[in-house]
Amino acid sequence: MTAWFKYVSIALLSAAASGLFVHGAAAQTGQPGPAYHEGVVQPTAAVLPFEQLERIAAGEMAHVTELEVRDLLLKAKGFDAQGMKVEVLLDRRDGYVLSRRIKAPKHMQRYAPHPAPNLRVR
C-alpha cells in the first residue's frame, strides 16, 4: 500500500508541475487570449437600427404597447384598429415579419372575423 501511494503521489505531483510549466510558458508568449466581456452581447449579423424596427412594428398595428428585443428577433405587442390584441415577431436583420398573432377578446370570440371553413354562407 505504501509503494502504491508513493507512485500515485509522484504521478500527481509531476502532472501538476507540468501543467504549471505549460501554463507559465503560454503566459510568457505575449499573445493575448480571447477577450470575454461579461454582459456584452455582440450580434453576429448586421441588424437594422431600433428606430427602423419600431416604424415597421408601428406599420403592422395601430397602437404599439411593448417592444422586446431578444437575439435576432423583435417581439412587438399592441392593438389593431378594431381593438384586438396583436403580437408581431420581426427579424432584426431585414425587418421581415415572421409571425403575426391576433387574439380576440373573450367576449368577441363568438363573433370571429372569419367563418370556419366547414360552414357555408348563403
Q: What is the pLDDT along the chain (122 residues), one digit of tens a residue?
A: 566 666 666 766 676 666 655 555 555 555 555 555 566 555 567 999 999 999 999 999 999 999 999 999 999 999 999 888 999 999 999 999 999 999 877 777 666 556 555 555 54
> In this structure, what C-alpha cell is assigned to residue 12?
500527481
CA 114: distance to chain centroid? 34
Alpha helices in the chain (DSSP H): 2-28, 50-60
Please tell me the predicted confidence (pLDDT) of residue 12.
Answer: 64
Please tell me the predicted confidence (pLDDT) of residue 83.
Answer: 86
Residues 62, 82: Cα–Cα separation, whole Å: 9
In order of 11, 17, 19, 52, 119, the CA distances from 25 in angstroms are 21, 12, 10, 50, 78
Whose CA is closest to 80, among 101, 53, 110, 51?
Answer: 101
Please tell me the predicted confidence (pLDDT) of residue 10.
Answer: 72
**What DSSP designation does 90 have?**
E
Please tell me the predicted confidence (pLDDT) of residue 25.
Answer: 53
Domains identified in the chain and CATH numbers? 50-104 (3.10.450.40)
